[in-house]
Amino acid sequence: MKIFAYCLREFDEKEFYDTICAEYGAEYSYTTAYPSPENVELARGYDAISITPCDMGEHMLDLFYTVGVRYVATRSIGFDHIDLAHAGKLGMGVSHVSYAPETVADYAIMMMLMCCRNICHILDRSAIQDYTLKGKMGKDLCDCTVGVIGTGQIGKTVVKHLSSFGCRILSYDLYPNPELAGLTEYVSLQDLYAQSDIITLHTPATADNHHMLNADAFRQMKNGVIIINTARGALIDTEALIDAVESGKIGHAALDVLEHEDGLYYANRMGDPIVNRSMAILRSFPNVILTPHTAFYTRKVVYDMALKTIKGIHDMMTGIENPLVLVR
């Protein structure tokens, strides 16, 4: 089993790849760069590639197939960056990973608390030794109605953990989760928009929910609503979000993911002019928090992602059943 890893982080992932590949008898090599047409040749002679979210559409899959790659393993829960249908046509196996939902769920709740208590504004003013109270008053999470969109593993955990705060919880999902009976009320998306003080997204990105939160959705929400996104940037129409912040419709937004973040997040761009005007505008707002896709980032999760990536490749190659295999 020969694996070539793209975007491998030497400061954390490499330690785990060294150990886990040795346990599986796998040979691996890597680059810290994202896969591109210019570096596809690095994977020649390897059975599989390990990637993070990046462009893995039809053209890139064709290029990797040409150099002999037959398996693609993404070190992420999300797999919307991979053209699964085309991989299937080529006969390329595809797998993804899973990890404990508490990591992202608690990060989302942390962001809710930060927004409710104006923490960024408090810290900014404390940094210049302004310790006055004016303009720093927050609100209690227990007095809020929180709308949770998507109650899969992470959304379900958000609901369970939020229930300890005493807030009212509304949920929307195409498939209501029976485990959450008594903890949340399932409502229509329109009712969730209209009644929620805080809305948090926990659904995968699909063609059907692209820009789910758009100008029309924002118009249906309460004035001063708080928006939390630790899921996928494509769920929010960024330009509409900017308009809603500027108009005051959105009181706070906390975004761990952003449209067009590929090639930006996880890279050191210090001193570079960054070609993402929407990001620049959002960063200028004192009531918007941007974090660079780090909600997942704990030592346990990084280890699990490495382990399940390598095991996914092993199981695809050996025919072992694995629920994380998307295409065989």
Catalytic annotation, residues: 232, 261, 293
Furthest CA-CA distance within the chain:
64
Measured distance CA(121)–CA(224) in Å, rounded: 16
The side-by-side arrangement of strands in the sheet containing 93-95 is 27-30, 2-5, 48-51, 71-74, 93-95, 325-327
Cβ–Cβ < 8 Å for 86, 58: yes
Cβ–Cβ < 8 Å for 311, 3: no
